[in-house]
Amino acid sequence: MTFLRKVLGIGRWQYGFEVAYRFNRIVWASSLPIILLATYFLWTSIYAYSGQTIINGMTLNELIVYYLAVQITIMFSASMVDAHIPRLVKKGLLIRYIVKPFNFVLFWFIRSVWRSLFRTFAVLLPLFALAFVIIDFSSITFNIPGYMLSVILALFLNFFYIFSVAMICFWVKEYEGIRVIRRGVANVFNGAIIPLTFFPLVFQKAFSYLPFQYMLYVPIQILLGKYSYEQSITMMLIQLMWIIVFALISIFAWKKAQAQFMGVGV
């Protein structure tokens, strides 16, 4: 019960944060349907110009659903922990969180989950209002249960990966450049910019050995029914493997970072 109260307390705190910046959130949520609509017109022109109904294994309808799922999946699984912790370190405010009677890594994970829930619900209505106009959902056989399970795993994987990278801020004077590179690399390799099937096979093979596609591309492919039941299970097991790897890295990196913080008084 005490743990539940703490979780709900973090939720109320994050909700207050979202309300405080509600204008930014409204502008941001309003921009997503515009981006989706622009994507629709762009790919409609590309498919019309090519004279093909299927490009790299995807119809136009599937591709638009893919980009819709990209936005929703990013909203649910992304974490901003590497925006908050470096700022706290730089301003000397991290000690406020270290002295709290709550595991530091767990605190930021729970806060990330609440943020994901609030932001996802904020964008669902405007996105689907447009999506039902431009997308024929009846032409696709969705694997929604598989997607929901995979996207939850993606949430864990994203958090531990980003948290482990964020720990670099304890050893550098300026972290923002690292964060920009981290996001850029992830967006290319996880399929956020373009589906990975559009890359040459040698690149697709290389991507399969990296953690990035399991953060976004794999859950969406499961949603679109591109994997069989056995393949979906295999992909989720690989997601779980990467979660364990980055969870261990995060715990180890935090211990080292904490020692660095206490040693030099960041």
How distant is the alpha carbon of residue 66 from its chain centre? Answer: 15
pLDDT for 266: 45
Which pLDDT score, from 0 to 100, does residue 124 have? Answer: 86
Among all chains, which residue has been given the structure tokens 């470096």? Answer: 86
Return the pLDDT at 6.
84
**pLDDT band (50, 70, 90) for residue 1:** low
pTM of this prediction? 0.91
In order of 38, 48, 194, 222, the CA distances from 56 in angstroms are 21, 15, 11, 17
Cα(60)–Cα(200) distance, rounded to whole angstroms?
Answer: 20
DSSP 3-state assignment of 23? helix
More confident residue, 132 or 2: 132
pLDDT at site 204: 94
